[in-house]
Amino acid sequence: MHRFANPARFLRIARWALPLTLVPGLILAVMGLYIGLFASPPDYQQGESVRIMYVHVPAAWLGSAGYFGLAIASATALIWRHPLATIAARAIAPAGAAFTAICLMSGSLWGKPTWGTYWVWDARLTSQLVLLFLYLGYLALSASEAERGGERRGAAILALVGAINLPIIKYSVEWWNTLHQGSSINVLAGKSAMAPEILTPLLVSTAGFTLLFAAIVLMRMRALIAEQRVEARSRRMAEAIA
C-alpha cells in the first residue's frame, strides 16, 4: 500500500486510470439511462414511475459505497498516516454527499406516486438522511480543522464512527416494518426478482455511475495534490522573502 504513498507515483497511475473510468462510465451511464428511460417497459405495478429507479438505485449504492470508502481512507490516515489517505477521503466526501442527496431527492419523487407522499420517517429514508448529515459533518469538520492547521483527525474519527450507519441502511428494511421495499437483487446468491428487461439497464447504469464516481474521485485527488503543492510553494516563497 505504501508503494502508492508517493504523490508523483499516484499521479502517474491516475493519468492513465482517469480515461479508463471516465469514458466507459459516460458511455455506460448514457446507455443505461437511455434504455431505462425510453426502451424498457413500465412496471406492472408502479407503471412509468419505476423509471426513477435507474437514477435512484445507483445513487443509493454510491452514497453508501462512497461512505465505506471514506471510512477506509480515514482509518488508513489514522493508523498508518498514509500521505494520500486524507486526500482520498477529502475527494470522496463531496461526491458521496452529492449522490446521497440525489438518492433522497429521487426517492421522494418515487415515493409520491408509490406511497402518496414525498417523505415519511421510514427507517431506510431516515438512515439515508443521517448518511447525508454525516457527509456534511465530515466536510464541515475537515474544513474547520484545515483552517486551524490541524491534521483532520477529528474528521477522520467522525467518518469511522459514522460507518455504523451503513449496516443500519442495509438491513433497515429487515429489522423494522418499513414502507420502503426490500432488496430485489441478491448479489451473493446471483438472484433477482426483476425482469431481465428492467434489470439489464439498471445494472448498466449502475456500472456507468460507479465508474463516473471513480473518475470524479481521481480528478479531485489530482486537484487536491496540485493545491497542496501550490500552498507548499507559496509557503517556501514567503519564508524565503521573510
Q: How far apart are CA 107 and CA 136, in angstroms?
A: 19
**Contact call for residues 57 and 209 (beta carbons, < 8 A):** no
Cβ neighbours around 114 below 10 Å, total? 18
Q: How far apart are CA 114 and CA 103, in angstroms?
A: 16
Q: What's the pLDDT at 141?
A: 94
Least confident residue range of 8-17, 45-54, 165-174, 221-230: 45-54
CB burial readout 90-106, b (16+ within 10 A) else e: bbbbbbbbbbbbbbbeb
- Taking only the tens place, the pLDDT of each residue in 21-35 is 999 999 999 999 999
Reported residue count of the chain is 242
Mean pLDDT, to the nearest integer, of 145-162? 87
DSSP per-residue letters across 15-52: HHHHHHHHHHHHHHHHHHHHIIIIISPPBTTTBGGGGG
**Angle at which helices 53-80 and 123-147 cross, to 10°:** 40
Its pTM surpasses 0.85: yes
Q: How confident is the model at residue 189 (pLDDT cuts 50, 70, 90)?
A: very low
Mean pLDDT, to the nearest integer, of 136-142? 95
Query: SS3 for 116?
Result: coil
Q: How far apart are CA 53 and CA 44, in angstroms?
A: 14
Comparing 92 with 182, the larger pLDDT belongs to 92
**Contact call for residues 87 and 142 (beta carbons, < 8 A):** no
pLDDT tops 80 at residue 70? yes
Q: Where are the domains of the chain?
A: 2-241
Q: What's the pLDDT at 185?
A: 63
Q: How far apart are CA 80 and CA 70, in angstroms?
A: 15
Mean pLDDT, to the nearest integer, of 151-175? 90
Q: What's the pLDDT at 188?
A: 44
The C-alpha cell at 33 is: 439511462
Q: What's the pLDDT at 237?
A: 78
Q: How far apart are CA 33 and CA 211, in angstroms?
A: 15
pLDDT tops 60 at residue 220? yes
Query: SS3 for 192?
Result: strand
